[in-house]
């Protein structure tokens, strides 16, 4: 699904050259739920931006669902983002002036679906996150957890192969965090590849595989559990400790 | 792909942001459309043909203070001398100068309807049930040289003969006149297109009948602001006063040379008088239309300023919106918007605001026009001015919003993952 080879990302200012990623290698298979952790400044966000085609790489190769993204122009990158990737942001990034229906509609319009198809997908996606009854509400009228669920619906409506989640529970309390994580796990079960960036080690255990980034490189490549049945949220005791940690950080 | 409805809905949730700009655009449309219309009207007024070879004409005034001459005779001598100057085509003493701004006018009628003791209303009504036609007319007085000096074209009838000219000390009433074509069509509307048939018709002033003996194609009066400027009459009379004026027609390239000589030659002929600075008709025209010219210039400046302020308003609004929505723009980019989509978003948003302003502006233009019609007797605003202003505002809007929109498109999608 995602294949990064020898990626370097260098930020240059007049005085300083920062290697945000160096010789970064990573493969994520279709259907996997991978969590990415690392301390502040380790390069997590840079990895996320590059994986999500939000930034270009300085050197290396990156294949997204078999497509070599190096050298694509803005339009091609935008199209690829729109079709392949669903984004979930820490601060939800809903558009405050648009109601829920219109928010979920945003990526679908860029895709060019007709009105009927968009309506079907929006209703289905909002149904899936349990907010179909509140389509005409504005984001400000919802709780944080509900907003994040709308954002997930927005990510799902385009039926992407790959969900990229950036601290999706970082701004939520424990109960809401738990609901969102359960939703993500369900989505993954239905076959969508998920890469989730977090700095919460406990939350990182929710995935099938955890990757640690330190100083712009993949440092630790540990497999928590290859069997999703036994992962954190399936076990009530582990789940409790995880959500507590998430809440204390948030 | 257009996304008008979500942009419109989002805008409606922040009405106050757009409202000021909408009002500004509406006012600009209303004022510019009306100002452009007024400018066009004034320019038409200023560019009216006077019917005269203006570049060949100049005038000067004479004030005689000597008591030792016969003024009638002196005027004759002056005319003869002036006509003999090389370069002069003709010269005449005349009571008023065309398009100079001030002069004589009176009302002529198509029949004598002045009630008096002997000729009462009964008699009048036996002639006609309708009252006599009153025509405001600019009055020129001069001799047989008047037509040639003015350079106007006689289209019917004849010039005055020398024996028809009445000099100041003579008492017989005026009996003949030459009039402009416009005078005929106003006085006798039934002769429209057949103005030549006006020769021989009688007109009345102060109960005196006057016979039309000639018709000139076009001759404007002195009063440029009057709506009766085209209706003129030339009477065969030379008034004898110690203040009189000459109109002189020269070959166009000789005008300055003649002007330079005129004062000396006049004083040489008789010194006890003052010759006032000669003025060309071009100078007098500029002077008469100075207010109109200033008005058009002021209105043009007003239009430029209004357009500038509106453009700045649109730029300011767009820049404000771009900065307010940086994160949203990044998010849209992350969700698949190309740079083109972002530019289009701001263009459409501005286009919607402009259109709302235009709709309001059309209503305001019409109201303003009605107000101007009532207060200043202006003609009704032509719709083409509203259309033209509308198109100008559309183009202005597109140009003003393009650069802020392009700047918005440069915002990196990576801003979406920054938690601020």
Residue of B nearest to A95 (CA): B328
The count of CB pairs under 8 A between chains A and B is: 94
- Report the residue from A81, A91, A102 with minimal CB separation from B6: A102
Instruction: Give the chain B residue whose CA is nearest to the CA of A113.
Output: B1
Can you list the alpha helix ranges (DSSP code H) found in chain A?
A: 44-51, 74-84, 100-111, 115-128, 144-157, 174-189, 201-204, 236-249
Residue B235 parent element (H or E): strand B232-235
Identify the segments of chain B with pLDDT beneath 70. 1-2, 114-129, 419-420
Q: Round to whole Å and give the CA distance between B57 and B252.
A: 8
The dihedrals phi and psi of A66, each to the nearest 5 degrees, come to 85, -5
A43 vs B: CB within 8 A: no
ipTM of the complex: 0.86
Which residues in chain A touch residue B6, judged by CB atoms under 8 angstroms apart?
Answer: 98, 102, 105-106, 109
Rounded to whole angstroms, how far apart are CA atoms A10 and A46?
10
For residue A243, pLDDT over 90 is answered with: no
Interface contact A98-B327, CB threshold 8 A: no
Whether residues B6 and A52 touch (CB distance < 8 A) is answered with no
Q: Tell me, what's the pLDDT at A222?
A: 52
What is the total residue count of chain A?
Answer: 250
Contact A97 B335 (CB under 8 A): no
**Chain B: closest CA distance from residue A89 (Å):** 6
Interior angle at CA A103, CA A100 and CA A109, nearest 5: 135
Comparing alpha-carbon positions, the chain B residue that sits nearest to A48 is B417
- pLDDT digit string, tens, across residues A81-114: 999 999 999 899 999 999 999 999 999 999 999 9
Burial of A186 (0-12, 13-18, 19+ CB in 10 A): exposed
Greater model confidence, B168 or A64:
A64
Q: Give pLDDT, residue A174.
A: 85
Give the whole-angstrom CA distance, residue B210 versus residue B201. Answer: 8
Give how far B321 is from chain A: nearest CA, Å.
12
Among B28, B13, B87, B121, smallest CA distance to B311 is for B28
Of 3.30.450.20, 3.30.1510.10, 3.40.50.300, 2.70.70.10, the CATH number of A2-249 is 3.40.50.300
B chain contacts of residue A91, beta-carbon cutoff 8 Å: 419-420
Which band of pLDDT confidence, cut at 50, 70 and 90, is reported for residue A201?
confident
Nearest to B237 by CA among B104, B139, B141: B141
Distance from CA of B14 to the nearest CA of A (A): 8
The shortest C-alpha distance from A106 to chain B (Å) reads 7
Chain B environment of A98 (Cβ under 8 Å) = 6, 9-10
Is pLDDT above 50 for A249? no
pLDDT for B376: 85
DSSP character string of A215-239: TTEEEEEE-S-S-GGGSGGGSHHHH
Residue A29 pLDDT > 50, yes or no?
yes
- pLDDT at A237 (0 to 100): 42
Report whether pLDDT(A200) > 70: yes
- For residues A121-127, average pLDDT: 93
Is the pLDDT at A236 greater than 80? The verdict is: no
What average pLDDT does the segment A185-199 reach?
91
* Nearest CB to B1; choose among A83, A109, A170: A109
Nearest CA in chain A to B13: A97
Query: What is residue A170's predicted lDDT score, i.e. its pLDDT?
Result: 84
For B38-101, the DSSP string reads HHHHHHHHHT---SS-GGGEEEEEEEE--SSS-HHHHHHHHHHHHHHSTTEEEEEE-S--TTSS
With H, G, I as helix, E, B as strand and everything else as coil, classify residue A88.
Answer: strand
Token digits for B285?
């025209």
- Judge whether A172 and A90 are in contact, CB under 8 Å: no
Is residue A9 over pLDDT 70?
yes
Asked if A78 lies within 8 A of B416 by C-beta distance, the reply is: no
Residue B337 is nearest to which of A78, A90, A98, comparing CB atoms?
A78
Domain range summary for chain A, segments of one domain joined by +: 2-249
**Distance between CA atoms of residues B191 and B15, nearest Å:** 62
B14 to chain A: which residues are within 8 Å by CB? 97
Q: Which two tokens stand for residue B400?
A: 């003003």
Domain boundaries, chain B: 4-47+291-417, 54-287
B180: β partners: B216
The total of other beta-carbon atoms located within 10 Å of residue B172's CB is 6
The pLDDT value given to residue B63: 94
Contacts of A170 in chain B (CB under 8 A): 419
Q: Does the pLDDT of residue A219 top 90, yes or no?
A: no
Q: What is the β-pairing status of strands B88-93 and B243-250? A: antiparallel
By C-alpha distance, the chain B residue nearest A103 is B6
Per-residue pLDDT at A228 = 43
Distance CA A95, CA B9 (A): 12
Mean pLDDT for the stretch of residues A120-132? 92
Lowest mean pLDDT among A49-58, A225-234, B61-70, B197-206: A225-234
Report how far residue B31's alpha carbon sits from residue B36's, in angstroms, rounded to the nearest whole number: 8
Residue A238: band (very low, low, confident or very high) from pLDDT cuts 50, 70, 90: very low
Please tell me which residue of chain B has the smallest CA distance to A156: B335
CB contact (8 A) between residue A102 and residue B339: no
Instruction: State the CB neighbour count (10 A cutoff) for residue B323.
Output: 13
């Amino acid at each position: 699904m995602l294949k990064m080879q020898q990626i370097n990302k260098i930020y240059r200012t007049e005085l300083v050259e920062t290697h945000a990623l160096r010789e970064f290698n990573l493969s994520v298979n279709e259907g996997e739920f991978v969590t990415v952790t690392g301390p502040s400044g380790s390069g997590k966000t840079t990895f996320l931006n590059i994986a999500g085609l939000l930034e270009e790489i300085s050197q290396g190769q990156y294949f997204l669902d078999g497509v070599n993204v190096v050298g694509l122009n803005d339009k091609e990158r935008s199209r690829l983002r729109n079709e392949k990737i669903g984004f979930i942001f820490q601060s939800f990034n809903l558009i405050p002036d648009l109601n829920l229906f219109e928010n979920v509609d945003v990526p679908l319009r860029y895709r060019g679906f007709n009105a009927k198809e968009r309506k079907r997908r929006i209703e289905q996606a909002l149904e899936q996150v349990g907010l179909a009854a509140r389509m005409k509400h504005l984001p400000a009228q919802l709780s944080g957890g509900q907003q994040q669920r709308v954002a997930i619906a927005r990510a799902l409506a385009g039926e992407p192969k790959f969900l990229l989640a950036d601290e999706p529970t970082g701004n939520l309390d424990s109960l809401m965090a738990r609901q969102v994580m359960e939703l993500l796990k369900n989505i993954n079960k239905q076959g969508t590849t998920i890469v989730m960036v977090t700095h919460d080690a406990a939350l990182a255990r929710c995935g099938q595989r955890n990757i640690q980034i330190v100083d712009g490189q993949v440092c630790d490549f540990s497999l928590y559990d290859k069997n999703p049945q036994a992962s954190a949220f399936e076990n009530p005791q582990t789940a409790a400790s995880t959500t507590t940690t998430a809440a204390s950080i948030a | 792909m257009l996304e008008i409805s979500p942009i419109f809905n989002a805008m409606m949730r922040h009405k106050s942001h757009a409202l000021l700009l909408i009002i500004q655009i509406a006012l600009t449309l209303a004022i510019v459309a009306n100002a452009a219309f007024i400018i066009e009207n004034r320019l038409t007024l200023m560019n009216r043909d006077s019917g005269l070879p203006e570049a060949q004409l100049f005038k000067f005034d004479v004030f005689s203070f000597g008591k030792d001459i016969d003024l009638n005779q002196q005027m004759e001598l002056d005319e003869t001398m002036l006509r003999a100057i090389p370069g002069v085509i003709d010269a005449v003493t005349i009571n008023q100068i065309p398009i100079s701004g001030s002069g004589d006018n009176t009302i002529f009628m198509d029949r004598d309807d002045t009630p008096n003791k002997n000729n009462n209303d009964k008699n009048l009504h036996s002639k006609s049930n309708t009252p006599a036609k009153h025509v405001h007319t600019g009055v020129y007085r001069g001799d047989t040289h008047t037509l040639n000096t003015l350079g106007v074209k006689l289209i019917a009838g004849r010039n005055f003969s020398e024996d028809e000219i009445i000099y100041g000390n003579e008492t017989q009433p005026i009996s003949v006149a030459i009039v402009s074509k416009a005078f005929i069509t106003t006085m006798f509307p039934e002769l429209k297109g057949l103005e030549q048939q006006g020769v021989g018709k009688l007109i009345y002033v102060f109960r005196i009948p006057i016979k039309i003996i000639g018709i000139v194609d076009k001759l404007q009066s002195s009063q440029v602001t009057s709506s009766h400027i085209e209706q003129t009459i030339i009477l065969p009379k030379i008034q004898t006063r110690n203040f009189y004026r000459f109109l002189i027609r020269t070959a166009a390239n000789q005008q300055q040379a003649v002007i330079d000589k005129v004062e000396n030659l006049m004083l040489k002929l008789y010194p006890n008088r003052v010759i006032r600075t000669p003025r060309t008709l071009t100078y007098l025209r500029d002077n008469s239309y100075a207010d109109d010219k200033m008005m058009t210039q002021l209105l043009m400046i007003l239009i430029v300023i209004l357009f500038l302020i509106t453009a700045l308003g649109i730029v300011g609004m767009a820049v404000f919106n771009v900065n307010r929505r940086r994160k949203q723009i990044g998010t849209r980019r992350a969700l698949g918007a190309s740079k083109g989509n972002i530019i289009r978003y701001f263009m459409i948003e501005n286009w919607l605001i402009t259109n709302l302003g235009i709709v309001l502006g059309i209503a305001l233009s019409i109201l303003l026009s009605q107000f101007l019609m009532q207060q200043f007797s202006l003609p009704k605003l032509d719709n083409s001015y509203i259309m033209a202003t509308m198109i100008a505002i559309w183009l202005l809007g597109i140009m003003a919003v393009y650069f802020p929109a392009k700047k918005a498109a440069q915002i990196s999608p990576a801003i979406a993952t920054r938690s601020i």
